[in-house]
Amino acid sequence: MSSVTVDHIPGKGTDASHGHHEDHAHHMPHGWRRWLFATNHKDIGTMYLIFSFAMFLEGGVLALLLRTELFVPGIQFFQPELFNQFTTMHGLIMVFGAIMPAFVGFANYMIPLQIGASDMAFARMNNFSFWLLPVAAILLTASFFVPGGATAAGWTLYAPLTLQMGPGMDLAIFAVHIMGASSIMGAINIIVTVLNMRAPGMTLMKMPLFCWTWLITAYLLIAVMPVLAAAITMLLTDRHFGTGFFNAAAGGDPVLYQHIFWFFGHPEVYIMILPAFGIVSAIVPAFARKKLFGYASMVYATASIAILSFIVWAHHMFTTGMPVTAQLYFMYATMLISIPTGVKVFNWVATMWKGSMTFETPMLFSVGFIFVFTIGGFTGLILSVAPIDIQVHDTYYVVAHFHYVLVAGSLFALFAGTYYWLPKWTGRMYDERLGKWHFWMSMISFNVTFFPMHFLGLAGMPRRYVDYATQFTDFHMIATVGAFWFGLSQLIFLWAVLKAYAGKGEIAPAKPWEGAEGLEWTVPSPAPFHTFETPPVVK
Amino acid sequence: MMKLKGFLLACAMLVSGATAAQVRDMPGGPAVNQLNLSTGVTEIARDVAWLHWMMLIICLVIFLGVFGVMFYSIWAHRKSKGAKSASFHESVGVEIAWTVIPFLIVIGMALPATRTVVAMKDTSGSDMTVKVTGYQWKWGYEYMDGPAEGVKFLSAMSTPLAQIENRESKGEFYLMEVDNPLVVPVGKKVRVMVTAADVIHSWMVPDFGVKQDAIPGFLRGVWFRAEKVGEYRGQCAELCGKDHAFMPIVVKVVTEEEYAAWAEGEQKKLAALADDPNKEWTAEELLARGEQVYGAQCVACHQANGKGVEGAFPALDGSQIVLGPMADQIDIMLNGVEGTAMQSFANLNDVELAAVITYARQSWGNGGQGQDPVVMPAEVAAAR
């Protein structure tokens, strides 16, 4: 993003009056048709964001039910089977319903604006890939109400436990299939858009990092979603069609499932974090009023992380008893990932160094992201060491680790990005006071919730437990209080966003942030229905 | 409503500090508000704790360094303090440095970890072997060699349901106590072969630094050498269904003499369970044993009520053979009845045969009214 400037070419698009006419008369559908048949990237982006927030609330409520049960030892509210269903669905919904679609929403809305394209490459397919998601969400949620309830095998759906589940499991498999199909289509769309539709003059190495991270993420998606689909299809045939892929009694291998799953699952964690890196790389320079430090090394680091993510999957399986050489290989390879990730953190810090910083909400969330995500990165490095991993595998230490990267990483970056681009989406500035409250409440309560989980895990408290030894009580109580606090804090976010959408708040100029760079700030706020019908020229 | 009451009660107990006063560190299990890995009682567990401290300190130093810089610039380089932004935005030297230096640090971390990985995997030269099988939701233990060879038993959680459902106050070893702990001698290298019967479980004892998934169809080996006598506790660590939280592991580490004595006792129990033909069996014992044998061997044809199936399998209830002299029935049991489905049951031992014959003679309408109501194993032996 080093030297992007926009060249307005007055001579181009001579038929200005005609274009103007089209904008308002024909091309902007109204009513429910505008949304159901939406092909406009901004509308589809908005729908993705609304959908993912709804799923975030659903997954969040499930998490709060879990925390309620875990407030004190003993079984108070939910029988173990139901508790397991809540755990599983919390994971599935947050991963496939909340975090991933939220990033796709950002991609849909922002990538065309950032590269100066008029829309996504495949607008009609874009509509389809969005509308698959509510269908999948309904299937997933409905599975609570079938005999036997929702699947209770954990979001990883490990065989052979999944072979024991009721029809809720089949619904989950279909839902994940559909979400996977949606993701693949979304990814194809993003790749083609980024590679084919950049404005003249925007070379790949001038492209905003958010586009870069999404380009790489989209390749990851295309590479691994079919792998997940294969794994769950094998589950399905094992369950109903007499195959024995994962059933030892039929000559199958239960560990095979884990290998296939994590070959998807490990890149998946980068699918959920790389776009976040892109968002933060846009925001930190804007509020430090200084160019991003090491743009090129950021791109290389992102690519290295993506490549490395394919060769480390079995670090999720150290306790399955793999040979010593495999254990060493996966340990070394995993440790390597900390290096490009470290480069990213150093670059962000160097961007802030000798900047001229202000701390509006997007910047707060970005700095919060860097700080807390790095804690998750460190625990990740600690977990990469096989002997330590074996000691804390499947304990709350792991729960703490991945919530530090997924909540304080992905989610905080999503918040940062929302506040950053909300003026562009709504034409209004969000309420800064609400934004700050949201940040501080989220930041503090997040740590209250998840920091004690490190201690629980180190002391040997296994995860996915409905009940626990009395020695763990205090930390669980703290975590539960934090969880409710965190959950309620998200209502501030909802309020702030709705306020801006309701047209309350200062009218936003085209470029509301002094240090912001990029083509998206060259169009008015809110971004009109049609933008860049004539591509801008980037020097 | 009951649940709510239980919850409120539990809350009240906690708030009043009653629980806090009662909850103490669990010997061999978690301590109250434990903050770090337990140093455990094996070399491996100590190594792991050491590795963790090393990683923690290195990470903490880097953390303080990086975020020291970040927070300094947040404090000093802010617009409100009149900071003007500099224009530098790359430096090949710096970027190479902060790629290479972390690489060296990572190598430094990997070296000691490698040693521990290799040590953890080395199950050779073990003094004894125990096979552990995960079931939904209990553990099975089987001694493969040594004085306890052949001893096997199931080990299930012994915490009462009333404690889990908050109807009773929780005990000292809440959720982490079992009816039959695994018993091993102190200071011996114990190889543990882990497998499962249904789904994947995981056999974890933090104080030993051991966690091994129990995978159906596979045997996976780990080992430990406990250095201190005591009871050490762990839990299942792989989601295995409904009662995942309720299948704890207790390993009792005893002196070698105690172990030998325990093994001897278990062998005796095992022998007692095995049928001893020279033992004087009472009618009641034979009856009880006979019911088992009948249930396993005879019930499919002759039915639980002894009435058989009309036209196919003769009734035993009121049968002339069952009510007649024992010699005839013993003969049928040993040789079968030619031309019918009644095969020879000579593969059963004398006690089993005597027991099942006695059972048939005592049950249903027969009620021990015929001749020879009780048949002793010696009599079967004589007839063979």
Q: HSE of B3 in the Cβ direction (CA atoms, 13 Å)?
A: 8
State the count of interchain CB pairs (< 8 A) between A and B: 324
Asked if residue B379 and residue B293 are part of one domain, the reply reads yes
Q: How far is B185 from chain A (nearest CA, A)?
A: 23
Amino acid, single-letter form, for residue A162 = T
Q: What are phi and psi of A122, to 5 degrees?
A: -115, 85
User: What distances in angstroms separate CA B377 from CA A53, B275, B322, B344, B355, one per listed residue?
Assistant: 75, 10, 17, 17, 8
Residue A534's SS3 state is: coil
Place of tokens 């905003």: A208
Residue closest to A470 by CA, chosen among B173, B78, B166:
B173
- If asked whether residues B117 and B133 sit together in one domain, one would say no
Q: Are B233 and B248 in contact (CB under 8 A)?
A: yes
Indicate yes or no: CB of B239 within 8 angstroms of CB of A388.
Answer: no
Please tell me whether residues B236 and B326 are part of one structural domain. no
Half-sphere exposure in the Cβ direction for A130 (13 Å, CA): 31
- What does residue B369 show for φ and ψ, rounded to 5 degrees? -85, -20
CA-CA-CA-CA torsion sign (A113, A425, A46, A411): positive
Q: Read out DSSP for B137-187?
A: TEEEEEE-SGGGTT-EEEE-B---HHHHTTSS---TTTT--BSS-EEEETT
Say if B278 falls within a structural domain. no
pLDDT in the model for residue B297: 78
Three-state secondary structure call for residue A155: coil
Residue of A nearest to B208 (CA): A391
pLDDT at B1: 45
Tokens 């592991």 locate to B249
Distance (Å) from the alpha carbon of A42 to chain B's nearest alpha carbon:
32
Q: Would the CB atoms of B77 and A354 count as touching at under 8 Å? A: yes
**Is residue A336 predicted with pLDDT exceeding 70?**
yes
**Helix H or strand E segment including B110:** helix B92-121
Using DSSP's 3-state secondary structure scheme, residue B13 falls into helix
Out of A350, A357, A473, name the one closest to residue B23 (CB).
A473
Q: Which of B216, B245, B272 is the last residue of a domain?
A: B272
Q: Is the peptide bond before A526 cis (omega within 30 degrees of 0)?
A: yes
Residue B276: how many other CB atoms lie within 10 Å:
13
B14 closest CB neighbour out of A462, A464, A473 = A473
User: Which residue, chain included where needed, has tokens 């493969």?
Assistant: B144
Contacts of residue B51 in chain A, CB cutoff 8 Å? 385, 387-388
Which DSSP symbol is given to A97?
I
Which residues of chain B make contact with A464, given a CB cutoff of 8 A? 239, 244
Supply the pTM of this predicted model. 0.85
Confidence of residue A325 (pLDDT cuts 50, 70, 90): very high
In the predicted structure, residue A498 carries a pLDDT above the cut 60: yes
| Side chain identity, residue A153 | A
Active-site residue numbers of A?
90, 119, 155, 182-183, 266, 268, 270, 281, 315-316, 341, 344, 463
B81 in a domain, yes or no? Answer: no
**Tokens, residue A288:** 């430090």
Flag if B212 and A296 touch (Cβ within 8 Å): no
Most A CBs within 10 A among B200, B236, B240, B246, hence the mutation to make, goes to B200
CB contact under 8 A, B110 and A331: yes
Same domain for B151 and B111, yes or no, is: no
Contacts 24+ apart (CB under 8 A), A62-65: A62/A86, A62/A89, A62/A90, A62/A93, A63/A90, A63/A483, A63/A487, A64/A483, A64/A484, A64/A487
| List of E strands, A152-194 | none
Residue B73: inside a domain: no
Picking from A75, A289, A319 by the largest number of B CB atoms within 10 A of its own CB, the best residue to mutate is: A319
Beta-strand relationship, B190-196 and B182-185: unpaired
* pLDDT at position A275 over 90: yes
Q: Is B227 helix (H, G, I), strand (E, B) or coil?
A: coil
State which H helix or E strand residue A537 sits in: strand A537-538
Residues of B whose CB is below 8 A from A395: 237
Indicate if B298 and B378 belong to the same structural domain.
yes
Q: Which of the given ranges, A12-16, A140-144, B366-370, has the highest pLDDT on average? A: A140-144
- Distance, CA of B59 to CA of A195 (rounded, Å): 39
CATH number for the domain harbouring residue B182: 2.60.40.420
CA quadruple B100, B102, A272, A204: dihedral, nearest 10: -20
Domains of chain A in sequence order: 39-521 (1.20.210.10)
Subunit contact A75:B118, Cβ cutoff 8 A: no
Query: For B206, which of A385, A460, A468 is closest by C-beta distance?
Result: A460
DSSP state, residue B367: T
3-state secondary structure at position A235:
helix
Instruction: Please tell me chain A's helix, strand, coil percentages from 3-state DSSP, rounded to the nearest 5.
Output: 70, 0, 25
pLDDT at B6: 56
B31/A471 Cβ within 8 A? yes
What's the rounded Cα separation, in Å, for the pair B123 and A235?
34
Domain boundary among B122, B141, B162: B122
**Which residues does chain A have within 8 Å of residue B235's beta carbon, measured at their own beta carbons?**
460, 462, 465
- A462: three-class secondary structure by DSSP: strand
Give the gap in angstroms from C-alpha A386 to the nearest C-alpha of chain B: 7
Residue among A321, A316, A217 nearest A268 (CA):
A217
Greatest C-alpha distance within chain A: 76
Q: Do the bridges between strand B249-254 and strand B182-185 make them parallel or antiparallel, or are there none, so unpaired?
A: parallel
Q: Is residue A260 within 8 Å of residue A227, measured between CB atoms?
A: yes
Q: Tell me which residue has tokens 């709705």.
A: A498
Helix intervals (H) in A37-152? 41-69, 80-92, 100-115, 123-142
Q: A296 contacts in B (CB within 8 Å)? A: 90
Helix axes A361-384, A274-288, angle to 10 degrees: 140
Residue A417 CA to residue A213 CA, distance in Å, equals 14
Let me know whether B135 and B204 are in one domain. Answer: yes
Instruction: Please give the pLDDT value at position A131.
Output: 97
Angle at the Cα of A253 (from A252 to A255), degrees rounded to 5? 160
Phi-psi region of B318 (alpha: psi -120 to 50; beta: other; left: phi over 0): left
Same domain, B148 and B107: no
Q: What does the alpha-carbon distance between residue B323 and residue B367 come to, in Å, rounded to a whole number? A: 10
| Cβ-nearest to B117 among A294, A321, A328 | A328
pLDDT along chain B (384 residues), means of 10: 52 48 86 93 96 96 96 94 89 93 95 95 95 94 94 93 93 94 97 95 96 95 96 96 95 96 91 72 85 82 85 85 89 85 82 89 86 86 86
Average pLDDT, chain A: 93
Contact B215 A254 (CB under 8 A): yes
Residue B9 lies in a domain: no
DSSP β-bridge partners for residue B212:
B203
In eight-state DSSP terms, residue A484 is H
Name every chain B residue with its beta carbon within 8 A of the beta carbon of A477: 14
Tokens of B64: 């303080």
Matching residue, tokens 């209990």: B138
Q: Residue A446: left (phi > 0), alpha (psi -120 to 50), or beta?
A: alpha
The verdict on B141 and B261 lying in the same domain is yes
Question: How many angstroms separate the CA of residue B144 from the nearest CA in chain A?
Answer: 20
In a domain, B88, yes or no: no
Q: Which residues of A touch B47 (CB under 8 A)?
A: 387
Domain-embedded: residue B232: yes
Same domain, B243 and B317: no
Instruction: Report the distance separating Cα B236 and Cα B212, nearest Å.
Output: 10
Instruction: Tell me if A401 sits within 8 A of A455, measured CB to CB.
Output: no
Contacts of A249 in chain B (CB under 8 A): 216-217
For residue B352, the domain's CATH number is 1.10.760.10
Q: Using CB atoms, which residue from B22, B69, B211 is nearest to A319? A: B211
Both B197 and B241 in one domain: the answer is: yes
Nearest CA-CA distance, residue B137 and chain A, Å: 13
Residues B293 and B261 in one domain: no
The answer to whether position B3 is within a domain reads no
Q: Structure tokens of B11?
A: 């809350």
Tell me the three state secondary structure of residue B317: coil
A258 forms beta bridges with: none
Are A469 and B175 an interchain contact pair (Cβ–Cβ within 8 Å)?
Answer: yes
**pLDDT beyond 70 at A16:** no
Closest CA to A190 of A201, A179, A182, A202: A182
Picking from A411, A475, A399, the residue whose alpha carbon sits closest to that of residue A443 is A411
Q: State what percent of residues in chain A have pLDDT above 90.
A: 91
Q: Cα–Cα distance between B329 and B321 in angstroms, integer? A: 6
Query: Quick one: pLDDT band at residue A406, thresholds 50, 70, 90?
Result: very high
Q: What are the distances in angstroms from CA A454 to CA A161, A383, A441, B130?
A: 27, 12, 21, 32
Taking the CA atoms of B85, B87, B88 and B89 in sequence, report the sign of the dihedral they define. positive
Tell me: pLDDT of A4 over 80: no
Are B263 and B147 members of one domain?
Answer: yes
pLDDT reported for residue A191 = 97
Chain A: closest CA distance from residue B98 (Å): 7
Is the peptide bond preceding residue B75 cis, with omega within 30 degrees of 0?
A: no
Token couple for A337: 């990932």
Domain boundary among B243, B272, B301: B272
Domain total of chain B:
3
pLDDT of amino acid A130: 97
Distance from CA of B147 to the nearest CA of A (A): 28
- For residue A168, give the H/E element and its range: helix A167-196
CA distance B224 to B190: 5
Residue B91: count of CB within 10 angstroms of its CB? 13
Q: Is the pLDDT of residue A7 over 50?
A: no
Q: What is the pLDDT of residue B4?
A: 54
Over residues A313-323, the mean pLDDT reads: 95
Domain range for B115 is 36-66+93-122
- Evaluate whether residue B292 is within a structural domain: yes
